Amino acid sequence: MRHITKTTPPQEFVEYLKTPDVSFDGLSGVPKEALRQRLLEDQGYICCYCGRRIDNDKHTKIEHIKCQKNHKHLALCFKNMLASCDGGEQDRADRVLPKHKVHCDAKKANEDIPISPLDEKIEDYLMFFPDGTVKGKVDIGKELIRILGLDTDFLTIQRRNAIKNYKVLPVSDWHTEVERLKIKGSDGKYEEFCFVLQSYAELCCEIESKTPLAV
Ligand SMILES: [Zn+2]
């Protein structure tokens, strides 16, 4: 998971909040599009939980960190909103991909996560491995994996493939590469699964530092 720094809500959404009987369910059209766009920009066009590439389309959900059911007063709070992939729901409905267990927003439903991507410590609780698996550090990490379904076969395979494709790229300096993966590109986007690739790059840094220099 990548730490997310939120900016400010778009003007179209701020205007919408001034309408009588305003509600999240009533949000649609331009204000909703603008809101989703801002969320995407803030988080570099990757799912707030799994890191898959997302865009401003029907597959991207506006996720409430604190669920609407138990925290009604936060349903329209910009700081409580993130952009999530559809967790496989759409894939299942469209029958494009084989059925698989849902993850992210779809899996979380009305549960609360112990720490959100808005907390800068979020990156300390999950460990990713080159075979695509993920492990949680202490109870917080384990809860994140359980509540968000981050260990579903589907995501494990996606992460494994991302690393497989990444491994063949020529990298001259792994330390620089680690730093590159931490920031958005010139298009405002993070690499898909950037924090997974970063784990691999950090592993390469470690190996490099243990390998004696050739003379
Ligand atoms: Zn996701």
Q: Read off the pLDDT of residues 110-119 as tens digits, 9 standing for 90 and up.
A: 999 999 999 9
Position 90 pLDDT exceeds 70: no
Residue 18 CA, ligand 1 centroid: distance in Å: 31
Q: 173 or 89: which carries more pLDDT confidence?
A: 173
Residue 144 CA, ligand 1 centroid: distance in Å: 13
At 146, which amino acid appears?
A: R
Q: Please answer whether residues 213 and 69 qualify as being in contact, where contact means their C-beta atoms are separated by less than 8 angstroms.
A: no
Of residues 130, 35, 131, the one with CA closest to residue 83 = 35
Residue 204 CA, ligand 1 centroid: distance in Å: 26
Residue 213 CA, ligand 1 centroid: distance in Å: 41
Q: Which region among 14-23, 83-92, 100-109, 114-123 has the lowest average model confidence (pLDDT)?
A: 83-92
3 state DSSP class of 128: strand
Q: Read off the pLDDT of residues 170-212 as tens digits, 9 standing for 90 and up.
A: 888 899 999 999 999 999 999 999 999 999 999 998 888 887 6
Q: What is the pLDDT of residue 95?
A: 54
The length of the chain, given as a count of residues: 215
**CB within 8 A of 124, min separation 6: which ones?**
137
Residue 30 CA, ligand 1 centroid: distance in Å: 24
Q: For residues 210 and 31, what is the distance between their CA atoms, to the nearest angstrom?
A: 53
Q: What is the pLDDT of residue 99?
A: 53
Residue 69 CA, ligand 1 centroid: distance in Å: 21
Q: What is the pLDDT of residue 89?
A: 73
CA 111 to chain centre: 17
Residue 20 CA, ligand 1 centroid: distance in Å: 33
Q: What is the pTM of this model?
A: 0.91
Residue 53 CA, ligand 1 centroid: distance in Å: 8
Residue 148 CA, ligand 1 centroid: distance in Å: 8
Burial pattern 109-147, b for ≥16 Cβ within 10 A else e, equals: eeeebeebbeeeebeebbebbeebebebeeebbbbbbeb
Residue 155 CA, ligand 1 centroid: distance in Å: 9
Q: What is the pLDDT of residue 117?
A: 97
Q: How far is CA 165 from CA 48, 130, 134, 160, 161, in A?
A: 22, 11, 18, 9, 6
Q: What is the pLDDT of residue 215?
A: 47
